[in-house]
Chains A and B, each alone.
Chain A
Amino acid sequence: MILEILSVGLIISACLAIFLDEAVYSVAALAGTLFLASLLYAFSDALFAAIFQFAVGAGTLAVLFLAGEMLSETSTKTSQKNLLLIIAVGVLLSLPAIFLSVSGTPSVLSGISFGEALWDSRAVDVVLQGLVIMTVALGIVIVLHEKRNGEK
């Protein structure tokens, strides 16, 4: 039952993230989507995926809130009627998912702890992915720095 409720919430918050007019509210709805996805993984015994989803989502959303505040130009507001319509569309869209699919229990971690999985089984992957992320972050910093120098 809990998986079905989480699925409905996931689809509704995804619809709100797309259809809400205000950028900050849209980002808040996306935060709900990522949090519910994380909970869905946790309740499906995929603890490893849940923790990663939560960590990645928290980092992304912290930056997105700032960007949303900075980039929002118009002060349009979604009316109450439209909000209810979006929620209704979300519930309708989630019906096939509830009745046709959600029931299984995918298991990412079976019998081993998160620490063992992270540092014993997948240590090389984690280090390499960290290296990739660090390289991309450095690339972005260099691009923005060059851009700022070009403007001056």
Chain B
Amino acid sequence: MMDYVILSLTLLAIGIYGLLTKRHLLKVFVSVELIATAATLNFVMLVPSLGKGLGEAFLILAFSTDTCVSGVILALLVVVHKKYGTSDIGDLVKMEEGKEKSEVEA
């Protein structure tokens, strides 16, 4: 039961660290991918205890969810980069704050 748990926890920790500390949107996406990989590793590890059919169903669900999340994040990434010309979260926040200030002043 404990097989691979610590490995997937380590991957999860690296992913969460990246999600919290990195400012580039692509790095955030990479972090989300690592978290999804950790979750999938857990599903693979849990398959024998869940039963074959249920385990496989969870596994397919995890993979398809991962793919959907990747697609949505990539689309958002492209839209944000096209609209603002940057992929840095800090710059995006500053731009939005500046926009709000100018609207209040007007």
Contact = CB atoms under 8 A, between A and B. Distances in A.
A18 interface: yes
A82 interface: no
Interface residues on A, range: 35 or more
B56 A37 contact: no
Contact of A129 (B7, B14, B45, B61): B61
Interface string B2-30: 11111100110011011000101111011
A140 interface: yes
A59 B47 CA distance: 25
Contacts of A147: 79, 82
6 A-B pairs with the lowest CB-CB distances in the bound complex, closest first = A104-B3, A97-B7, A129-B64, A18-B18, A101-B6, A140-B75
25 contacts: A10-B11, A11-B11, A17-B18, A18-B14, A18-B34, A26-B27, A26-B30, A30-B33, A34-B37, A48-B59, A52-B63, A67-B26, A67-B77, A67-B78, A94-B7, A94-B10, A101-B2, A101-B4, A106-B4, A108-B55, A125-B60, A125-B61, A132-B64, A133-B64, A133-B71
Contact of B59 (A64, A108, A121, A136): A108
B30 A30 contact: yes
Determine the main DSSP class of A at the interface with B: helix
Interface string B34-56: 10010011011111100011011
A39 interface: no
Contacts of A97: 6-7, 10
Interface residues of B, number: 57
Contacts of B40: 37, 49, 53
Nearest to B49: A106
B7 A7 contact: yes
A103 interface: yes
B90 to A, nearest CB: 13
B12 to A, nearest CB: 10
Given A106-B44, A107-B48, A108-B52, A56 B67 contact: yes
A133 B67 contact: yes
Nearest to B9: A97
Interface in A86-134: 93-94, 96-97, 100-108, 110, 117, 121-122, 125-126, 129, 132-133
